Structure formats: structure tokens, C-alpha cells
Amino acid sequence: MIHLSAITRTFHMGDQVVHALSDINLHIASGEYVSIMGPSGSGKSTLLNIIGLLDRPDSGRYELDDRLITDLPETEQAQIRREKIGFVFQSFHLIPRLTAAENIELPLVLSGIPPEQRQIRVNEALQAFELKQRASHRPAELSGGQRQRVAIARATIMRPSVILADEPTGNLDHQIGAEVMALLENLHHGGTTLIVVTHDRELGARAHRQIAMRDGKILTDQTDDAG
């Protein structure tokens, strides 16, 4: 479903040119569980941002579900993000003045779904992520694990086909991190494509397909036979 060919992305830092991605070719099938690993500055986050349509490549083709994405106008890219992609961030990125339920509801609001339907779906999500008791709490009143659960609930409320997680456990202790990973993997078992960016080898090893990156290039791309 995800098809990247000859993707390059360069940044200008002062008068220095940084090749964040150079000539990336990658195919990810629907329902895969992929981890992208590498040291910081290897281009893994940039790759994730391009897959998630937050960033545009300087050259190359990106097809999502057999549709050429690269040249789509901003509004249509936003619509694809809304409907097909769910983001999970290291720092959760919850809106501090909104309650847990309101944070989860946001993508539905952006999609213009009527309030009654929103209510039903948010309640389901709260139930599914065991956040019922915390629905009216603001992020500041939640633990790290709870915050990331809210973020995952928000990422999945639109039932996207791809979940992109950028260091999802980076701000959590080991045990809570494992719980969060279990949640994400659970989504994968439900058929969602899961792409996790991490520099944690242990975490990366849980994925069925492991991509290692360095200096904007794909170093290795292994698929576990067991997966």
C-alpha cells in the first residue's frame, strides 16, 4: 500500500546541506508491522514524516493505496492524513486545555462528523483504552501511560489504515512502555499497518520487518520469517 521510489529530502542548515533522505526505495504492504531504526540524524523521522504526509520529498514518487500522493494539493493531503493515517508521538502532543475525551474527539471534529456520532465513537474509544474514568481529566492530570493511551485513542478514532509511531515509548518507563507497545501491536493484529520509528533495538526487534537506516539511506531491511 505504501510505495516510495527514489525519494530524496535535503535540509539546509545555514550553508550546510543535509541529506536527510537520499534515494529511498521502499514498499510496505498493507497490514505489515515495520520498525525503522537508526541513530539520531539517520533520517528515520524524516521518512516517517514523508509517509505521514507532514513533509514533502524534494524528488521521487510516493504512492499510497495506488494513488500518487506527491503532487496532491495541501487540502487533499490533509484529508488523507485525516482518514488514513494516525500519528503517535513521543511527547504525546495532547492539547493541554482539552479533556481526554475532547482530545480523542478532535479528528472527528476536523472531519465534520456530527456531535451525536462523535459521542458514541469517543465513548467506544474511552472504553477500549480503559480511559472511562479519566474522560473529563485534562492531560496534566493524567499519568504518562494514560496520556499515551489518549494519544493512541486519538490516532485510531478515525480507523486509519496506517499508524505511524515516532518513539512512542520514549517518554515512558519500561513497564508502561511495554503496555503501550502491546496496545499498538494489538491494533496491528486487527489489520492496521504499524510503522514504529525507534532507536531502541529491543523495541525494534518486536516488529516483523526491521529497517535500519544511516545517513539518509536504508542500511538493512530484514523480515522475520516467523512474522
Partner 1 sequence: MTLADTLQTSFKTVVSYRVRSLLIILAMALGVAAVVVLTALGDGARQYVINQFSSIGTNLLVVLPGRAETSGSFLGAVLGQTPRDLTLKDAQLLGRLPQVRRYAPLNVGAAELSGANRLREVTVLGSNADLIPIRHMKLAQGGFLAHGTERNAQIVLGAKIANEFFPRSQAIGQRVRLGDSRFIVSGVLAAQGESMGFNTDEIVIIPIDYAQAMFNTTSLFRILIEAKSHNVIEPAKQAILAALKQSHDGEEDITVITQDVILSTFDRILHTMTLAVAGIAAISLIVAGILVMNVMLVAVNQRTAEIGLLKAIGATSRDIRRLFFAEAVWLSFAGAILGFLLGQSGSLMLRLAYPQLPAWAPAWASIAGILVALITGVLACLWPASQAARLDAVKALSKR
| Of 54 and 135, CB closest to partner 1 | 54
- Report in angstroms how near the CB of residue 110 gets to partner 1 at its nearest: 5
Residue 209 · residue 31 · CB < 8 Å: no
Out of 44, 147, 154, 206, the residue judged to bind partner 1 by CB under 8 A:
154
- Alpha-helix runs per DSSP H in the chain: 44-51, 74-84, 100-110, 115-128, 144-156, 174-189, 201-204
- Report in angstroms how near the CB of residue 37 gets to partner 1 at its nearest: 20
- Report in angstroms how near the CB of residue 91 gets to partner 1 at its nearest: 6
Out of 68, 109, 205, 219, the residue judged to bind partner 1 by CB under 8 A:
109
**∠ CA 125-128-131, rounded to 5°:** 75
- For residue 184, the SS3 value is helix
Q: List the x/- string, 56-85, binding to partner 1 by CB under 8 A.
A: ------------------xx--xx-xxx--
Q: Which of 126, 140, 152 is nearest to 98 (CA)?
A: 140
Binding to partner 1 in span 23-52, by CB under 8 A: 49, 52
Backbone angles phi, psi at 54, to 5 degrees: -85, -20
Binding site for partner 1 (CB under 8 A): 49, 52, 54-55, 74-75, 78-79, 81-83, 87, 89, 91, 93, 95, 97-98, 106-107, 109-112, 154-155, 158
